[in-house]
């Protein structure tokens, strides 16, 4: 392919813009993860697989009810929230405590179960949700520079979701309950808060975000039961790059990751994932607390 | 006594793992009363409060409150029944501002006299420093915030664990000066204290614990310093 | 009053005796077993080895890794690299894989041990992914689709297929015995005592002069090296390698973790018990893949929630057995020569 010698800069701008926008998607993967770790010090290894589960739920919803992906959210989000509440209340609450083995191993087991369950029901075939014309629409930013409408929309929604989570955390009674329980479970109980219920609500909220992320994923690219772990890794890398304890930092982390991957892919398509991992490892090596860590522990 | 006590602790044994901290303990609080529990370190005073508040599991009938046996029920349901504990060392939530600490105290939305405005009237400095992180307050201010947080749930019984701990005497006097206002609004008090002098001045009855047992009980005005010192130190 | 630390107990003396007998029987398996038996046994040995190593890292050093497949694949690729590029006999390549893996593990440990707890786990997974992606980029070793071991090198091991099977079987047996011996020796050494202390209370251990980080780095590197050697052997036996197979999470981590959890974490006998259960289930269920993994995952979760010490943990609690002499007891002998034995843990 001949490259226009006068505009390699334009190529790079396009590449970086794409990376920024996909960063919004990664931030969505990461937000739910970050929330749960903040509230109950739990890293849900099944997180990525739950995103894929949400994608399949959306698939079934759109196919059986004949609605579009956006409409399917009305069903997928509450359903995943309920699943999250039940999962925490029935299984994960029992793993919380000083020892980190139980939650890690149980969520790992869950990851394997979800993957293989989806495989058994849906087979390993790649699927995708159709969103219509919006998938190929582009907006011209300026001469030669285009952004896809769908990625732009997803980025905007990602920002909105993070803003909403910030609002919940810092301006509502529920958010106060989350922060207080994270500070001290026993003193939170003295306030009349039932820890089991608070944790379950946090997981429900996390999975509501996961549901949105799953629908985004389903519309944007092909998915199959095995891609969960990679989403977990992207979300995790976004959290670490951005810095623990800060949701806006997670957005920044997602963007850095997305841009790194885009640059890597532009140099050599086989280097996309490696470039992202390298960015993560570099941050881990030189600034382990992340780019925008929250001042407090 | 004709009326049953608001709080009746009967034959309470409390354990930390294998270690027994309280032995066959019985104490009362009448409605409208302020009761002091004094004793040396390790006498079991905090354990008593934790047991009442539900942080330590007990036998069902060991604790009766407002007519119902509450021993062994979870701490959050005990809080909903109207017992508020101001923990030792204040234990404000570091992630919350001063005002948020008060608001979360009011999470239960129990009806009553106390709300944010009235707590600010009781402790005006809390209004001035409403939106700063609770960790930036001085010890005395934190103690006021912790008490205010306890009041926000409009409890029938307020348990205070060593509110004088680590505070300058003038600050302690300032805090104790507000306790009568709390009593006047209908909240009964159980004060655990090492500062016996303050405790005696603020309460009607005193229990003195020694190694997990009640060594002395009586009306505050009737007990002599000598008797209390003897019970305190077990001589 | 004199004080002596003893490791053996009556139970472990019996256990070790039984193990010695079993070892003799297994060593002469080529005499009584057919080709399928030898292959099954080799598989059992490799899983016992991998699970024991994971157990050392997670159960004893408190480092829960979900990325040990990084070293399985690394060891395998080192063997294939030396075989294909340098014509080195695979038998020499196995220990070489261990050495090179140990060297690689040092900077990796430096990076990944900056993460704690859950984050460490995911970090190890990322490292494995990086290894996998790098392997796919190396075209001389088959890139993404993989490569086979040259026939000439296979023949160099032994001219007849039967003798190749025997030699590979004995290598597998030697590897698992070496791995178990290494673990037992490590745990009996002062590093083992340090690990126990760290497991009980990291803070208290540090206050008593134990360099927690250094102990963990040491265990991480040793585990990486041993895992790589096992990985090298596994793919030597398979004769063919590909990035997805070499770095498979399912094969080298999921199964390994489930085996150890069900058998019993934190006890050396646990992975052995777990592997036996795993293979017994597999032989009877016959159907591999999806449903099997599903069931295994569910069972592992159930075990973690209801009996976190696993099958062997339950046995220890009920009967107090131990097979390997690892429990430290202090024997006090007073002036009259009367001795009293007190065991700790």
Tell me the pLDDT tens digit for each residue of A151-167. 899 999 999 999 999 99
The answer to whether residue C277 neighbours chain A at the CB level (below 8 Å) is no
Mutate to test the interface with C, among A44, A116, A290 (most CBs of C within 10 A): A116
| % of chain B beyond a pLDDT of 90 | 66
| Contact call for C133 and A101, based on CB within 8 A | no
| Contact call for B91 and A184, based on CB within 8 A | yes
The answer to whether residue A295 neighbours chain B at the CB level (below 8 Å) is no
The Cα–Cα gap between B221 and B215 comes to 17
- Chain C: give the shortest CA distance to residue A62, in Å: 26
How many Å separate Cα A229 from the centre of its chain? 12
Q: Find which of B66-70, B195-199, C149-153, C304-308 is predicted with most confidence, using mean pLDDT.
A: B66-70
**pLDDT at position A297, please?**
36
Nearest to B104 among A176, A186, A194 (CB): A176
Question: In C, which residues are within 8 Å of A95 by CB distance?
Answer: 304-305
How far, in Å, are A169, C101, C135, C226, C241 from residue C231 at the CA level?
Answer: 47, 11, 15, 9, 11
ipTM of the complex: 0.91
The answer to whether residue A90 neighbours chain C at the CB level (below 8 Å) is no
Tell me the pLDDT tens digit for each residue of A179-205. 999 999 999 999 999 999 999 999 999
| Burial per residue of B191-221, b for 16 or more beta-carbon CB atoms within 10 angstroms, e otherwise | bbbbbbebbbebbbbbbbbbebebbbbeebe
| Contact call for B153 and A189, based on CB within 8 A | no
Could you tell me which residue, A82 or C31, shows the higher pLDDT? A82
Residue C101 pLDDT > 70, yes or no? Answer: yes
The answer to whether residue A128 neighbours chain B at the CB level (below 8 Å) is no
| Contact call for C123 and A284, based on CB within 8 A | yes
Nearest to A285 among C111, C126, C265 (CB): C111
The Cα–Cα gap between B151 and B41 comes to 27
**pLDDT at position C345, please?**
46
Tell me the pLDDT tens digit for each residue of A136-148. 788 887 777 888 8
- Chain C: give the shortest CA distance to residue A237, in Å: 9
The answer to whether residue A226 neighbours chain C at the CB level (below 8 Å) is no
Work out the average pLDDT over A22-42.
91
The Cα–Cα gap between C63 and C199 comes to 10
Residue B230 pLDDT > 80, yes or no? Answer: no
Nearest CA in chain C to A120: C290
The Cα–Cα gap between C70 and C126 comes to 9
How many Cβ atoms are within 10 Å of C170's Cβ, its own excluded? 16
Residue C336 pLDDT > 80, yes or no? Answer: no
The answer to whether residue A174 neighbours chain B at the CB level (below 8 Å) is no
Lowest model confidence (mean pLDDT) among A5-14, A106-115, B42-51, B188-197 = A5-14
DSSP state of C266: T
**pLDDT at position B69, please?**
93
Q: Which residues pair with residue B69 across a beta bridge?
A: B64
Tell me the pLDDT tens digit for each residue of B88-143. 988 999 999 999 999 999 998 899 999 999 999 999 999 999 999 999 999 999 99
The Cα–Cα gap between C72 and C94 comes to 12
Q: Sort B180 into a burial class: Cβ within 10 Å, 0-12 / 13-18 / 19+.
A: exposed
Nearest to C301 among A100, A110, A240 (CB): A110
| Contact call for A95 and C125, based on CB within 8 A | no
Nearest CA in chain A to C65: A104
Residue A170 pLDDT > 90, yes or no? Answer: yes
| Contact call for B75 and A190, based on CB within 8 A | yes
Write the CB contacts of C80 (distance below 8 Å, at least 6 apart in sequence): C141, C147, C149, C235, C241
Question: In A, which residues are within 8 Å of C120 by CB distance?
Answer: none
- Chain A: give the shortest CA distance to residue C133, in Å: 7
Give the angle A261-C251-C129 at the CA atoms, nearest 5°. 15
Write the CB contacts of C148 (distance below 8 Å, at least 6 apart in sequence): C239, C240, C241
| Contact call for C301 and A281, based on CB within 8 A | no
Closest CA to C187 of C270, C266, C103, C275: C266
Output the average pLDDT for chain C. Answer: 86
Question: In A, which residues are within 8 Å of C290 by CB distance?
Answer: 116, 119-120
pTM (predicted TM-score): 0.88
**pLDDT at position C191, please?**
82
Output the average pLDDT for chain A. Answer: 90
| Contact call for C64 and A280, based on CB within 8 A | no
C-alpha Rg value of chain C to the nearest Å: 21
| % of chain C beyond a pLDDT of 90 | 34
- Chains touching B (at least 3 CB pairs under 8 A) are A
| Contact call for C66 and A43, based on CB within 8 A | no
Tell me the pLDDT tens digit for each residue of C178-219. 999 999 998 888 888 888 888 777 778 788 877 888 889 999
Strands B83-86 and B157-161: parallel
């Amino acid at each position: 392919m001949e490259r226009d010698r006068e505009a390699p800069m334009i190529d790079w701008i396009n590449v970086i813009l794409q990376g920024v926008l996909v960063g919004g998607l990664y931030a969505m993967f990461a937000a739910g993860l970050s929330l749960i770790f903040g509230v109950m010090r739990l890293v849900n290894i099944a997180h990525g697989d739950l995103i894929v589960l949400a994608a399949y739920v959306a698939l079934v919803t759109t196919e059986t009810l004949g609605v579009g992906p956006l409409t399917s959210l009305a069903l997928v989000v509450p359903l995943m929230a309920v699943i999250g509440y039940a999962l925490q209340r029935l299984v994960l609450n029992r793993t919380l405590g000083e020892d980190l083995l139980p939650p890690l191993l149980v969520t790992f087991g869950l990851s394997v179960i979800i993957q293989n369950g989806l495989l058994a029901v849906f087979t390993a075939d790649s699927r995708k949700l159709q969103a219509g014309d919006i998938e190929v629409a582009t907006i011209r930013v300026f001469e030669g520079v285009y952004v896809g409408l769908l990625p732009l929309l997803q980025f905007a929604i990602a920002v909105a979701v993070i803003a909403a989570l910030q609002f919940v955390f810092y301006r509502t009674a529920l958010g106060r309950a989350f922060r207080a329980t994270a500070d001290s479970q026993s003193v939170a109980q003295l306030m009349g808060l039932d820890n089991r219920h608070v944790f379950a609500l946090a997981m429900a909220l996390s999975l509501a975000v996961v549901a949105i992320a799953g629908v985004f994923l389903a519309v944007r690219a092909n998915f199959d039961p095995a891609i969960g772990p990679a989403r977990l890794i992207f979300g995790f890398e976004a959290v670490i790059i951005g810095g623990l304890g800060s949701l806006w930092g997670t957005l920044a982390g997602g963007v850095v990751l997305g841009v790194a991957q885009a640059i890597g892919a532009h140099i050599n398509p086989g280097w996309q994932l490696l470039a992202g991992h390298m960015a993560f490892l570099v941050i881990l090596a030189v600034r382990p607390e992340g780019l925008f860590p929250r001042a407090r522990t | 006594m004709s009326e049953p006590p608001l709080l009746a602790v009967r034959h309470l044994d409390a354990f930390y793992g294998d270690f027994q901290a309280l032995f066959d303990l019985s104490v009362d609080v009448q409605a409208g009363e302020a009761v002091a529990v004094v004793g040396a370190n390790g006498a079991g005073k905090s354990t008593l409060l934790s047991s009442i508040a539900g942080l330590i599991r007990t036998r069902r009938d060991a604790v009766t409150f407002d007519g119902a046996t509450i021993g062994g029920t979870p701490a959050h349901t005990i809080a909903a029944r109207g017992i508020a504990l101001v923990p030792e060392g204040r234990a404000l939530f570091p992630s919350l501002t001063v005002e948020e600490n008060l608001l979360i105290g009011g999470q239960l939305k129990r009806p009553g006299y106390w709300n944010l405005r009235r707590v600010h009237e009781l402790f005006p400095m809390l209004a001035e420093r409403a939106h700063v992180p609770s960790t930036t307050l001085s010890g005395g201010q934190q103690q006021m915030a912790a008490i205010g947080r306890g009041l926000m749930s409009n409890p029938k019984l307020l348990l205070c664990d060593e509110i004088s701990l680590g505070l300058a005497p003038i600050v302690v006097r300032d805090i104790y000066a507000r306790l009568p206002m709390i009593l006047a609004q209908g909240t009964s008090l159980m004060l655990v204290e090492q500062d016996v002098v303050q405790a005696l001045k603020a309460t009607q009855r005193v229990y003195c614990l020694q190694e997990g047992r009640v060594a002395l009980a009586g009306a505050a005005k009737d007990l002599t310093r000598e008797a209390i010192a003897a019970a305190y130190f077990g001589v | 009053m004199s004080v002596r630390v003893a490791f053996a107990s009556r139970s472990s003396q019996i256990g070790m005796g039984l193990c010695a007998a079993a070892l003799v029987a297994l060593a002469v398996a080529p005499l009584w077993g057919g080709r399928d038996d030898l292959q099954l046994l080799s598989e059992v040995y490799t899983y016992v080895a991998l699970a024991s190593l994971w157990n050392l890292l997670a159960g004893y050093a408190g480092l829960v890794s979900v990325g040990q497949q990084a070293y399985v694949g690394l060891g395998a690729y080192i063997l294939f690299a030396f075989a294909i590029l340098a014509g080195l006999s695979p038998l020499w390549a196995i220990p070489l894989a261990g050495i090179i893996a140990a060297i690689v593990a040092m900077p990796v440990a430096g990076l990944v041990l900056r993460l704690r707890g859950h984050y460490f786990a995911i970090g190890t997974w990322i490292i494995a992914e990086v290894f996998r992606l790098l392997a796919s980029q190396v075209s001389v070793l088959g890139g993404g689709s993989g490569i086979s071991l040259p026939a000439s090198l296979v023949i160099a091991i032994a001219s007849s297929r039967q003798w190749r099977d025997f030699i590979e079987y004995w290598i597998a047996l030697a590897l698992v015995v070496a791995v178990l011996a290494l673990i037992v020796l490590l745990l009996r050494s002062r590093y083992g005592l340090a690990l126990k202390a760290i497991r009980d209370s990291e803070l208290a251990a540090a206050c008593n002069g134990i360099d927690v980080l250094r102990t963990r780095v040491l265990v991480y590197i040793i585990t990486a090296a041993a895992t790589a050697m096992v990985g090298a052997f596994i793919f030597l036996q398979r004769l063919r390698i590909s990035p997805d197979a070499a770095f498979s999470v399912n094969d080298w981590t999921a199964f390994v973790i489930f085996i150890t959890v069900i058998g019993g974490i934190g006890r050396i006998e646990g992975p052995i018990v777990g592997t036996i259960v795993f293979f017994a289930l597999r032989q009877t269920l016959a159907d591999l893949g999806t449903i099997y993994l599903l069931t295994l995952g569910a069972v592992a979760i159930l075990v973690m929630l209801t009996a976190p010490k696993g099958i062997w943990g339950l046995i220890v609690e009920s009967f107090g057995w131990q097979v390997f002499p690892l429990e430290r007891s202090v024997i006090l002998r007073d002036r009259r020569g009367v001795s009293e034995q007190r065991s700790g843990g």
